Amino acid sequence: MSEIVRVGGWALRGAGLSFGVAERGSRLLAFTEAVHGGAVRDVCAHGPIIARSTLPEGITHARRTDGGWDLDGGGRHLVEAGPLLADLATSDARRRGQGHARLSHVVGFIFVTALADLLVQRRLTGLCVYRADEKSRLPPSVSRSGWILFGQRGNRSVFATGAANDPLARQIEEILGETTFGPAVSSELSKASSSGEGYLAAVAFGARNETGNSLLSLLNRPEVGSALRDYAGQVAASYRDGVSMESQDLQDLYDLEMRTWAPTSERSRSQAGYGKF
């Protein structure tokens, strides 16, 4: 796990992300590889898109009338655009008690769980709703569309996942229905039941928020049992036992990193060893 975090930062730079973006992307990469597998493969598959990330035309954002945010990812990868959605939702959740942001026109939906985890690490409770774009290739543990409920119980992250049309989704909708962002979430859940362009939305609540607590208490109900996902346990096991990766994926990770290495120049060589220069 530490190996992916360490090499991943360089690998993402090799793929085309700037230092600042790669820096936090490496954690998303390691988390996703540990929990779902296939993260490095996804980055490699989206190589040309990631390589465009430093071009000037970027991600745009606008405040909606309901107070949430709409982001247009400009076709970028979630490893770059996803954290920005999380930042906007976090900012409002911490300043106003609740935040909502919706991101469209992006790829790389294998990273949705990692983004939910990013919000949990910030001690927020909430819900991600998403629909993967049709071209996304996802491992079996990531549904093509659905929701991820997230929060913290004590110091432990808790997650539940489900489909947009399952009974649990209705209960979630009911809890969120009384909030400002209830209609937005209902619409997103409804969209997730059909096919179409990919999107990711997140609604987040700050610590001690009543709606957030209601969402968390939902996770205690017996009928939720099969929806619970022990991602924190999987991450801990990955630290303890290592991450099982295809050898080609590991090779690809290092190959991406190697793109950032350069031949030692004559000037550098002359600086090595003894002497003042």
Partner 1 sequence: MEMNAVPPSELPPFLRDILRAFLGENEQLAVLARLRPADELMTAPRLGAMKATRLSFANVLARRMIEERWSISRERLTCDEEGDGYGVYRIDAGGYPLTYIARCFRWDGIEKIGRRSDGAGRDMFGAIFLGTPDEARIAEEFAIINLRDAALMRTRSDVTGWTPANRSVRYFDHVVDALTAGHQPDPSFLGSGTGYILRNGGYLGSGRQGSLSLDGLSEKHPFRHPFFGDLFGLFLIRQVSIDLVNGVACARNPNAARLSPEIARYIGVGNSSGQGMCVALQRWPEWVSTWLCVRELSLAYATSRPTHRSTSSRMRSLLERVSNYLGSIELQCEDYAIPPSALARNLETAAAWLAPGSSKSFVTWGEFADEVVSTFDPETSEQVNSLLIELYPDFADAVAEYLPIGMRRERDVAPEMTVSEVQALLRRNYSWALRLDQRQSKVRQHFWYHSIDNGEQRRGERIIDPHEEFESFIDHIGLAQRLACVLATYEGGTPVAEVLVEHPELYYGLARVQYLAGLPYAEIRDNLLHRDFLPAHLIRFFVSVLGIECTSPLSIRYVRGVFFQGIPLPEELVRGANADWRFPAQPSLSDIDGAVA
For partner 1, the binding residue among 24, 36, 100, 191 (CB under 8 A) is 24
Going by C-alpha positions, the residue among 96, 97, 66, 102 that lies closest to residue 84 is: 102
Binding of partner 1 by 260 (CB under 8 A)? yes
Question: Which residue in the set 134, 239, 246, 248 belongs to the binding site for partner 1 (CB under 8 A)?
Answer: 239
- Distance (Å, whole) CA 92 – CA 85: 11
Query: Of 44, 45, 94, 213, which one interacts with partner 1 (CB under 8 A)?
Result: 94
Give the rounded distance of the alpha carbon of 114 from its chain centre.
4
Give the span between the Cα atoms of 109 and 229, in whole angstroms.
18
Cα dihedral across residues 87, 89, 91, 94: positive or negative: negative
Structure tokens at 65: 């009338």
Please give the distance of CA 127 from its chain centroid, rounded to a whole number: 12
**Residue among 222 and 240 whose Cβ is closer to partner 1:** 240
At residue 134, the 3 state secondary structure works out as coil
CA distance 183 to 179: 8
**Residue 252 near partner 1 by CB under 8 A:** no
Residue 255 sits in the site that holds partner 1 (CB under 8 A) = no
**Which residue stretch of 59-67, 129-137, 208-216, 218-226 sits at the interface with partner 1 (rule: CB under 8 A)?**
59-67
Sole binder of partner 1 in the list 21, 148, 164, 216 (CB under 8 A): 21
Binding site for partner 1 (CB under 8 A): 1-6, 10, 13-14, 18-21, 23-24, 54, 58-61, 71, 80, 83-84, 86-88, 90-92, 94-95, 121-122, 236, 238-242, 258-265, 267-268, 271-276
